[in-house]
Chains A and B, each alone.
Chain A
Amino acid sequence: MDNYGQDVSSPVSLESSLSGNPYFSRMERTMITINEIFRNQHEYIKSRHKISALEMDLIQFVVRNGPQKMKAIAENFAIKLSTLTSIIDKAERHRILKRVNSKEDRRVVYLDVTKKGERINQEFNEYLHEVAEKIQGSLDEEFFSRFVEGMETFNQISSK
């Protein structure tokens, strides 16, 4: 939701959701499950690529959207510019991201991926693809399709 940090209780009456929403207690558990999935993924990224999950997210963001201004990245990841600067310094030392000056306006700095960053991105995408195939392979076809629909709805709701 884009009302992260704001009062999220406004759109729906809490009383009505408290009484008779059988989805609630199962959602509570599921939040833990989601966190667990990503905690494991972060461990994998750390041990496989020796970079943090945030660094991986930054690489993926730049690869997907092309070179980005620092300000745009700070906004997207909800990080202060000062914090981002030291994160990028570190990522540059790891040689996964690089600062480049805009050709039109030399004062403007963009963030781009290095060859190494591209390679890591590629490898990670392959890993995600394998994981996705494994999950698809282990579930019944109709169930899997419902699962994907459910995830799409959840993502939509949660990023509104």
Chain B
Amino acid sequence: MSATNQHDKLLVLNRFEKSLIDLNDVYRKHQNYIRAKYKITSLEMEIIQLIVLEGRKKMKEIGQYFNIKLSTLTSIIDKIERQRLVKRVNSKDDRRVVFLEVTSKGNKLYTDYSKYIQVISTMMKSSMDEENFNAFIEGLTKMSELVSPS
């Protein structure tokens, strides 16, 4: 590998490290935004989001998806159930199985929040080509796999 190539690789790596730091700032602001506007944590918003996007879920499925212990999840769900954003419902086929559903209040809240994502998406579309956008999405997915503890 040539010296120039090596140098270029290092430059991109430096830019990447800087991006990670900036992304951390963006993430923190995003958390603050959700907390201030919706009075819930970003994890709680994600749980609501997952159910809105994929339909009702078992507690166990949610725990696995977000990699949280069931005991921790139980208290999180208790909290957003008290806020009337989600509700526990028993399965009709097997009464022992409990599903989590989003209430209409929860749905409304998510719809409002998703406007923010729509704005970001529109700005992304106008400022990057599809190849970069794909790399952005797939790169983050790959990164998430690589830094995942399990």
Task: Scan residues 115-148 of chain B and give those whose CB is less than 8 A from a CB of chain A.
Answer: 115-125, 127-128, 131-144, 146-148
Chain-B contact segment, one of A13-21, A65-73, A86-94: A13-21
Chain-A contact segment, one of B24-32, B72-80, B90-98, B100-108: B24-32
Q: Which residue of A lies closest to B128 (CB)?
A: A153
A159-B19 in contact given A33-B140, A57-B24, A153-B128 (Cβ < 8 Å): no
Range, interface on chain A: 35 or more
Type the 1/0 row for B59-79, where 1 means its CB is closer than 8 Å to any CB of A.
000000011000000000000
In Å, the complex CA distance between A106 and B125 comes to 51
Q: Which of A27, A38, A134 sits near B120, CB closer than 8 Å?
A: A27
Type the 1/0 row for B36-76, where 1 means its CB is closer than 8 Å to any CB of A.
11000011001001100100000000000011000000000
Describe A's contact surface by its main secondary structure: helix
Interface residues of chain A, those whose CB is within 8 Å of chain B, are 1, 4-5, 8-9, 11-12, 14, 16-18, 21, 23-24, 26-41, 43-44, 57, 60, 77-78, 128-129, 131-136, 138-139, 141, 143-155, 157-159
Q: List 28 A-B contacts (CB under 8 A).
A: A4-B30, A8-B119, A9-B115, A14-B115, A17-B122, A21-B125, A28-B114, A29-B137, A31-B30, A32-B46, A34-B140, A35-B27, A36-B66, A78-B32, A132-B16, A134-B146, A144-B135, A146-B136, A146-B139, A148-B16, A150-B135, A151-B140, A152-B15, A154-B124, A155-B22, A158-B29, A158-B120, A159-B26
